[in-house]
Amino acid sequence: MIGWKLFRKRKDGSLGSLFINRPQKLYFGIRYTAKNHPTKGFAVRPGWHICREPVAPHLSMMGRVWCKVRFDGKIRSHIRPKAQSGLWYTSTYLTIIKENT
């Protein structure tokens, strides 16, 4: 499936997660396997979090970029309030395809 994920964009050009496992650097074209990283203050929802559309009104865009991603493996749908992007997914695998320009 194809979806969208919001990433932090570092000065060196690498991408990173917004909140969970922040030290990990992510790059285009590599298939990543989700790992569970329980983080204080956040619900435990194992898997990569992906939006259906590049929209997340509840999150700041400062220092962040939307990227088109391919995701597969075990996929779960999550219905969230419209202010939190509405429908989003968690999946086992994620490949970053391109940055939204």
pLDDT score, position 80: 87
HSE-CB at 63 with a 13 A cutoff on CA atoms is 8
Degrees, nearest 5: CA angle 78-51-17:
105
The Cα 69–Cα 95 span in angstroms is 6
Average pLDDT of the chain to the nearest whole number? 94
Let me know: does 51 contact 3? Beta carbons within 8 Å.
yes
**34 pLDDT exceeds 90?**
yes
Mean pLDDT of 66-71: 98
pLDDT score, position 70: 98
Mean pLDDT of 72-101: 92
Tens digits of per-residue pLDDT, 50-66?
999 999 998 999 999 99
- Under the banding of pLDDT at 50, 70 and 90, the label for residue 82 is confident
- Under the banding of pLDDT at 50, 70 and 90, the label for residue 45 is confident
DSSP letter for 49, please. E
Let me know: does 70 contact 5? Beta carbons within 8 Å.
no
